[in-house]
Structure 1
């Protein structure tokens, strides 16, 4: 049977190994947290770019619809209503963003 001193040395060595493993896992965890933050920033940037592109597309569609010369009065009135609706959507979105900033 192993002596008490031998058993104590084994326990100390295993404890040192566990501490080293814990430190290594903590470093890996910190690196993964940084990677997650980086990916979140990249995702948010991409999302913002998509929203900006969608807004530009809407604005271009509105501008194009107003440029078409061969339309009748009913179509013009419909386009005016559509344009007003889009402007209202933009205003609501701006109000929402202002509310988030407060």
Structure 2
């Protein structure tokens, strides 16, 4: 079994709701990973190019790594990890690593 963290609203440091866990079978070469989704909104106030970090979601859903345009002003960046149980702890957020000196 592969155990992963599950949180619908992770602010980059902690879960705003109760942190849970989910699991999946760790047998096949695919669908063994834990998923971290980072959501970014475009900065409509200043009109600058780029996106601002809003929140993350941790889950056991099948993972497809990459950046996806969800809506015209919302981007989802997905990370997959399968090296350890509960490896989706939100530490792969580059902005948090730079600000707080954590490894990302």
Question: Would you call these one fold, judging by a TM-score over 0.5?
Answer: no
Q: TM-score range by the shorter chain?
A: under 0.3
Q: Of the two, which has the highest radius of gyration?
A: 1
Q: Which structure has the higher relative contact order (CA within 8 Å, separation 6+)?
A: 2
Looking at secondary structure, tell me which structure has more strand per residue.
Answer: 2
Q: TM-score, normalised by structure 2?
A: 0.21
Looking at secondary structure, tell me which structure has more helix per residue.
Answer: 1
Q: TM-score, normalised by structure 1?
A: 0.21
